[in-house]
Structure 1
């Protein structure tokens, strides 16, 4: 399996799985993609139905990874996907499923279900991939004889804590995590800032998430700095993150069906496009997906594109601070991967289109024949308001006695717009409701239940550094921590 950059021409610049794992962003500014997608046979699908989550992850990931020995990769997935790691669950008896599947009911002639992805250490779907990424990084550093990896990441809410909890205690790894100052929920902030581990550095940026993400790209494109200080990434620009997320689309499909000729649809709350991009890849591998519903909030950049063909990034002053803050994103970093496939994998056009994003604020494919392929790829979209989220949380609780978080509510609202009789609709759960208790109190007039010691988080001392939204300041901070 070889990997290419979305912006590179020719096959001379192919890389292996371990190369892209440690490299993050390609040197030309593009994102790594498989040179071709592996296909899954009907026989394989039938066999995969019988597997545990850890063994399913091994089978899916090894199709993209041939430079980690088979036994080592299997050991890594089995070490990662254990019931005790994913134990923060509504029904403790189902922890061994890792991503339990729950059918809510029949609506519009279709089963409406949740794929519970938020049972890991930080109560968000990011844990599913990030726990594996932590183990992969540690393995790769030893295998490639690297002494140190300094991870630089950005978060709008859940990536940061998931990365930090996955990297705690990992040999040779430091984490520098950027987040928009005072733009996350109190619980999300406390999860990150309460960590006192010496290898964890939280940087609160005076700006919005897009500023954080722009800084990541600016640092990654400073090749001298990146090489000297061994900078890697955990954001979903890192291919391994996307790869690990592909797995639960197969798991959800198997839970919703009993035969390989059945089709299902998935609804995915989406800000940075990484989670739904994994669904696109699963579909390209041959998984029978009917629709991929992209659910957004008031920051409806992606919804606007899928409806009109116009991709228009918002300025910092145009970005709404919403009750589903993990989706308060204007520039979806993984969108480039999808557009790469949409326009026939043309690296020259990709470079121009995303140059247009930086210089002109976006691009328009409405008049292009490429845009018609959006429906061929199964994509549709919707967006929600705060009032929609509150009403959806109330309705799901009233009908099914389940409390969902605000992002998952965005997903349920969008899913209901695209139900088809006889086609199961699976909503990917984003996080647990306790991470957004203010919205839950508004919707239901009650506090979501806390498990274990999560209720004490917001009272713990917090440790972070406040810096301007400027790559130079961030690089100086990183340099000082590494060299001291």
Structure 2
């Protein structure tokens, strides 16, 4: 497996890529060519448990990690003791052609746990071999931060500097992050929106000298390790849905996925799974009112919004107007032409938008990608209607996925909706939809009462540099 940057530079091995995070040229690591999975190999995975399937899928990308070591990493990541179900990712029928892929059974009740638990173990393994340390610099719109912090809390070789936007997350999300007291966890609350946090991360990560001096890395979806781990549950859920399909009809049995989308990493993982050979008919990009991605896939015009025009919505983890992982998709769309991609970003800087209207028909025809927007009232109505008909309670982001999915359901093609988080994390929206606040277990109620610790910070890269320089881990001699 060869890795390159979307900006054109050759990169190292899988381990090198996950330790580096953002490439030194400012681009994102992409594999090439993608491994191919034929029907025989896919069928041979049918009886694997989740950890075993993760080992099989990720080994196609991580060929510098011995299989026994990778299997041990995956067993530790997907230990059933960390999840509320031994299946790790349960798949259940929602009726009306919809299937729910349960991705929120991990320690922070969000889909990010699936990839973060793996990445925490994989990074620790790589650092132990090299006797190194890594300071994770990340931005979160809600769930990435807590999932990353829970995956590395208490680890001696890893620390986290996690930026979050002031007042833009739910009470539950804030409590999950800010109540952590481990010395290797640093919660930095930025005056701004998620995109401001993300720009700070990109600026420091692109500063090669500072990054090297302070051992900076990433655990958000700019890290390809996250993407590789998310590919696993696309294969897992296809295998579960097709368990009931006649063996002669399984090889080409298509399903579609509706994916609530903010930073585009989850959809990108589905795009890679489809390119690898998984029979995916459509990938439905479901956005909230910050619908930059919906506009792009409908029109071919990519027009990111500034902080002032990024709305605070009732599905806050999707309040993103500059989706980092779109760069990886554009790299594929442009035939791996890094020079043309750099030209697009220059156009974006000059004009405030990118015009790819001539390529727009390919989004569906070649890549199977469609999109749609869900509003606050849509998600409230969907939460209510799904609960009344099935007694299944959705969080607002997953409700966005269900809302947008309805327009793209086709006869005979199962529509799988990827769950984002547990509804208890967003009690105000659930109360509006159902007239009552969802119950949480005692452990989570106690968490909400814990003292919280945070560092307030302006959206200033120099202040962030100073804080990291003072608090970063450094390698031991």
What TM-score, normalized by structure 1, do the two folds share?
A: 0.95
Partners of 1:226 and 1:321 lie apart in 2 by 32
Aligned match of 1:143: 129
Q: Deviations over 1:331-375 (max 9, x none)?
A: 000000001101111000111212333443220100x2x332211
Aligned match of 1:316: 307
Q: Secondary structure at the match of 1:204?
A: strand
Mapped contact 1:264–1:288 kept (Cα < 8 A) = yes
Q: Which runs of 5+ in 1 are unaligned?
A: 88-94
State the Cα distance separating 1:460 from its structure 2 match. 1.2
State the Cα distance separating 1:14 from its structure 2 match. 3.4
Aligned match of 1:380: 370
Map of 1:401-440 to 2, 5 A cutoff?
401-440=391-430
Q: Deviations over 1:397-426 (max 9, x none)?
A: 011111100000000001111000010000
Q: Secondary structure at the match of 1:427?
A: strand
Aligned match of 1:2: 2
Point out the more displaced range, 467-476 or 295-304: 467-476
State the Cα distance separating 1:315 from its structure 2 match. 1.1
Partners of 2:278 and 2:45 lie apart in 1 by 12
Count residues with an aligned counterpart: 467
Aligned match of 1:122: 108
Mapped contact 1:4–1:14 kept (Cα < 8 A) = yes
Mapped contact 2:214–2:473 kept (Cα < 8 A) = no
Match of 1:131 among 101, 117, 133: 117
Mapped contact 1:342–1:371 kept (Cα < 8 A) = no
- Cα gap change, 1:180 to 1:335, in 2 (>3 Å): same
Q: Secondary structure at the match of 1:97?
A: coil
Aligned match of 1:32: 29
Mapped contact 1:134–1:170 kept (Cα < 8 A) = no
Map of 1:141-290 to 2, 5 A cutoff?
141-146=127-132, 148-257=133-242, 258=245, 259-290=250-281
Partners of 2:131 and 2:79 lie apart in 1 by 28
- Asked if 1:78 is matched to 2:75, the reply is yes
Partners of 2:323 and 2:183 lie apart in 1 by 31
Q: Deviations over 1:247-295 (max 9, x none)?
A: 0000111111131221000000000000010000000000000000000
State the Cα distance separating 1:229 from its structure 2 match. 0.4
The alignment yields a C-alpha RMSD, in angstroms, of 1.1
State the Cα distance separating 1:480 from its structure 2 match. 1.4
State the Cα distance separating 1:483 from its structure 2 match. 7.8
Partners of 1:28 and 1:465 lie apart in 2 by 30
Mapped contact 2:149–2:177 kept (Cα < 8 A) = yes
Mapped contact 2:78–2:88 kept (Cα < 8 A) = yes
Partners of 2:147 and 2:343 lie apart in 1 by 34
Q: Which runs of 5+ in 2 are unaligned?
A: none
Mapped contact 2:255–2:280 kept (Cα < 8 A) = yes
Point out the more displaced range, 205-214 or 458-467: 458-467
- Asked if 1:297 is matched to 2:294, the reply is no
Point out the more displaced range, 215-224 or 256-265: 256-265
Aligned match of 1:371: 360
State the Cα distance separating 1:64 from its structure 2 match. 0.5
Match of 1:450 among 440, 443, 468: 440
Partners of 2:463 and 2:350 lie apart in 1 by 23
Aligned match of 1:389: 379
Partners of 1:280 and 1:371 lie apart in 2 by 16
Q: Deviations over 1:454-483 (max 9, x none)?
A: 112222111000000011111111111138
State the Cα distance separating 1:445 from its structure 2 match. 0.8
Point out the more displaced range, 77-86 or 427-436: 77-86
Aligned match of 1:91: none
Q: Secondary structure at the match of 1:96?
A: coil
Match of 2:328 among 337, 345, 349: 337
Q: Secondary structure at the match of 2:371?
A: strand
State the Cα distance separating 1:71 from its structure 2 match. 0.4
Partners of 1:269 and 1:35 lie apart in 2 by 26
Partners of 2:442 and 2:48 lie apart in 1 by 30
Q: Secondary structure at the match of 1:102?
A: strand
What TM-score, normalized by structure 2, do the two folds share?
A: 0.96
Q: Deviations over 1:202-246 (max 9, x none)?
A: 000000000000000000111110000000001100000000000
State the Cα distance separating 1:452 from its structure 2 match. 4.4
Map of 1:90-105 to 2, 5 A cutoff?
95-105=85-95
